A and B are shown apart, each in its own frame.
Chain A
């Protein structure tokens, strides 16, 4: 090897040494740099970890404070995390026991839950899931869930999270509200009264009855104002009351007004209008109830007319009976006078038979007059114009009657109990007793006649009875005898009006009359008079 070669080698080694040294230095520098960077990274990492921890605990706080439940699970449905609300809602504490969400699914909602889960898997999220869930204590709650998948950095799903809202109470309230609304609308819709809700004269709501009354549809009515379906002059009268309602003087009022129908005709209706006020007492709406009174008015008018006609007819009848009776009496008087004159003037030429016939004419005239008088008193019984009510002592009245009625010696009238003092019209009450006692006298056929008057004090009524031991009345005549001209006896003094008058007087005093009778043994008449 030449020295040159050695020299070359030496220089080469020298260069190599230098290069290594340089490399070592670079390495050293780099190492130092790396160290520094590492140190820095460590610091940053610590800071980051610190921050993550902080964020995590912040998040935890948010989760726990969330009113809605938060649930996180793995892809198998195992619950990994629940916030306070979730624990509260489901009743589970996953730090104590494992929980899979399948366990929470309400059995009837299983299919729906699975479908939603499928949606979650394919789309990555679902929202507005609404179903029932079981709680640990076997309670059932209705929940609303929004959920989304959680992915790792490779976009592989590793779990899901969801916000769960308990809407059980809300639903219940809503249901109650809906139910009440339904009930109310059933009432409103089925009401036979027309119902209108109006706001400042504008119609905002109507029911079926009102729509039918006016012949408009609900929609057509919504476009109208109250005055559009009212008659101008009448609406002004209502407006006056509305003003009073606006100023708070009244809360409601009632008015009879007309409504104009779709076809232009109108009808009368009774309208009740009430104010619906807000918290401050200002009127929010007016609610009106409308009742069609066309028929009612018609009926009332008819009834008024009928009553008027009846009154007129009644008065005419009264006058008629009065006039006819008196006009009938005049000829009787004349005949009586003429018969008398013939008898007076021609007594010498009349034989016994002739005189007898004239006497018979006179008797017939008398009977005729009695009849007319009875008709007259029958028709005046219910005439309130001459009704004079005062206290009547019946003991005195019967005593007086004994003198008026011709009582044969063989008939004895006895009062079994002290009679009361009653209120009534003297003429009528006297006629009542006179007719009944008179009948008892007329129809007595026994050798010794006994007529007994008895009394019983009933709470609302006086009960009297008049008993005789006369001929008796057949059962089939018990009703008939109280009717006009229905004399069933063959007594020639009977006009057939006496008991009809009795019945009418008892009717006047809101009483009743009936009888018990045995043929051949006698009859007891019972009657009541209202106190």
Chain B
């Protein structure tokens, strides 16, 4: 089953990393990229390409991750899309806030690329066996 991911991250290399994991593992999934929350909301406004899962960075200019998450969760047509946080912070406060707003998962980005690959693979495999609500 092919899934559509919305990856929201301002860092180009982070976006490259994610794409490379999909590419190297021959996953059939599709990625839509957004550089920040605003851009992501624009993407979501186009009803023809709704993502199945959103991967969200927290530290971003303009609209940061948590602000975007709040917007999303207040939109009845979008609130059931699972959002996985990709963060550099394992700060308890950040974690708590993310889950409170309604994050479906929280990944701390590791330094080592191999570890990153491993985590993303696990994530994708987990979510590809889940039943998801189609918008």
Interface residues of A (CB under 8 A from B): 322-323, 326-327, 329-330, 332-334, 336-341, 362, 365-366, 369, 380, 385-386
**Which partner residue on chain A sits nearest B57 by CB separation?**
A330
In the complex, which residues of chain B have a beta carbon less than 8 angstroms from the beta carbon of A362? 112
Contacts of B17 in A (CB 8 A): 337
* Residue B59 is within 8 A (CB to CB) of chain A in the complex: yes
Q: Pick the contact of A337 from B89, B91, B92, B113 — CB < 8 Å?
A: B113
CB distance A336 to B59 under 8 Å? no
Given A334-B11, A337-B13, A337-B116: A366 and B92 within 8 A (CB)? Answer: no
Q: Of residues B11, B14, B93, B112, which shows the largest number of chain A Cβ atoms within 10 Å of its Cβ?
A: B112
In angstroms, Cα B116 to Cα A165, docked, is 115
B88 at the interface (CB under 8 A from A): yes
- B13, B91, B109, B116 pick with most chain A CB within 10 angstroms: B13
- CB of A386 within 8 A of CB of B14, answer no
User: A386's contact among B13, B59, B93, B111, by CB below 8 Å, is which?
Assistant: B93
CB pair A369–B89 under 8 Å, yes or no, is no
B91 with A329: CB separation less than 8 A: no
A337-B17, A366-B111, A369-B111 known; A330 vs B116 contact (CB < 8 Å): no
The reply to whether B111 and A326 contact each other, CB–CB distance below 8 Å, is no
Q: Which residues of B contact A322 (CB under 8 A)?
A: 89, 91
Within 8 A of A (CB), among B84-135: 88-89, 91-93, 109-114, 116
Q: Is the CB of A365 within 8 A of B111?
A: yes
Closest to A365 in B: B111
| Cα distance A334–B111 in the bound complex, in angstroms | 8
* B20 at interface by CB-CB < 8 Å: yes
With A326-B88, A340-B114 as known contacts, state yes or no: A334 contacts B59, CB within 8 Å: no
A432 to B8, CA, bound (A): 38
Closest B residue by C-beta to A385? B93
B109 to A, closest residue via Cβ = A333
Which residues of A have CB within 8 Å of B89?
Answer: 322, 326
Taking CB atoms, residues of chain A closer than 8 Å to B88 are: 326, 329-330, 333
With both chains docked as a complex, state the minimum distance between the C-beta of A495 and any C-beta of chain B, in angstroms.
15
Docked Cα-Cα span, A502 to B131, in Å, equals: 48
- In the complex, the chain B residue whose C-beta lies closest to that of A368 is B111
Shortest distance between the CB of B107 and any CB in chain A (Å): 13
Complex: A34 Cα to B118 Cα, angstroms: 168
B59 contacts A329, C-beta separation under 8 Å: no
CB distance from A358 to the nearest CB of B (A): 12
Chain B neighbourhood of A332, CB < 8 A: 111
Q: Kindly report which residue of chain A lies nearest to residue B88, judged by CB atoms.
A: A326
Q: Are B13 and A338 closer than 8 Å at their CB atoms?
A: yes
Nearest Cβ on chain B to A339's Cβ, whole angstroms: 8
Are B111 and A340 interface neighbours, CB within 8 A? Answer: no
A365 proximity list for chain B (CB < 8 A): 111
User: Bound state CA distance, A518 and B113, in angstroms?
Assistant: 44
Residues from chain B with a CB closer than 8 A to the CB of A366 are 111-112
B14 contact from A326, A327, A334, A340, Cβ within 8 A = A334
Kindly list 9 other residue pairs between chains A and B, CB separation below 8 angstroms, not including A333-B14, A386-B92: A326-B59, A326-B88, A326-B89, A330-B59, A333-B116, A334-B13, A334-B14, A336-B111, A386-B93
Distance of A334 Cα from B11 Cα, bound (Å) = 9
Residues of chain A lying within 8 A (CB to CB) of residue B13:
333-334, 337-338
Enumerate chain B residues within 8 angstroms of A386, measured Cβ to Cβ. 92-93
Provide the bound-state CA to CA distance between A168 and B116, in Å: 107
| CB-contact partner of B20 in A327, A330, A339, A341, under 8 A | A341
Give chain A nearest CB distance to B86 CB in angstroms: 11
16 pairs, A vs B, C-beta closer than 8 Å: A322-B89, A322-B91, A323-B59, A329-B88, A329-B111, A330-B88, A333-B88, A333-B109, A333-B113, A334-B14, A336-B111, A337-B113, A339-B113, A340-B113, A366-B111, A380-B91
Which residues from B are CB-within-8-Å of A369?
111
Q: A339 vs B92: C-alpha distance in the bound complex, in angstroms?
A: 31
In the bound assembly, the distance between CA atoms of A337 and B18 in angstroms comes to 11
Q: How far is the CB of B135 from chain A (nearest CB, A)?
A: 32
Hey, which chain B residues are within 8 Å of A326, CB to CB?
59, 88-89
Given contacts A326-B59, A341-B20, contact A336 B92 (CB under 8 A): no
B87 CB, min distance to chain A CBs, angstroms: 8
Residue of B nearest to A339 (CB): B113
Q: How far is the CA of A251 from the CA of B16 in the complex (A)?
A: 81
Residue numbers in B under 8 Å from A330 (CB-CB): 11, 14, 59, 88
Task: Kindly provide the distance from the CB of A345 to the nearest chain B CB, expressed in whole angstroms.
Answer: 10
Q: Which residues of B contact A380 (CB under 8 A)?
A: 91
Report A-chain residues with C-beta under 8 Å of the C-beta of B110. Answer: 333
Least CB distance, B109 to chain A, in whole angstroms: 6
Nearest-Cβ distance from residue B80 to partner chain A, whole angstroms: 30
Give A310 Cβ to nearest chain B Cβ, in Å.
Answer: 21
The 9 closest A-B pairs by CB, nearest first: A334-B13, A340-B113, A326-B88, A337-B113, A369-B111, A337-B17, A329-B88, A336-B113, A386-B92
User: How far, in Å, is B56 (CB) from chain A's closest CB?
Assistant: 15
A323 to B92 alpha-carbon distance, docked (Å): 15
B53 CB to nearest chain A CB (Å): 22
| B11 surroundings in chain A (CB, below 8 A) | 330, 334
Shortest beta-carbon distance, B33 to chain A, in Å?
16
Residues in A with CB closer than 8 Å to B109 are 333
Q: Which of B10-37 contact A (CB under 8 A)?
A: 11, 13-14, 16-17, 20
For the complex formed, measure the closest distance between the CB of B35 and the CB atoms of chain A, giving whole angstroms: 14
Q: CB-CB < 8 A to B114: which residues of A?
A: 340
Interface centre among B20, B88, B91, B109 (most CB of A within 10 A): B88
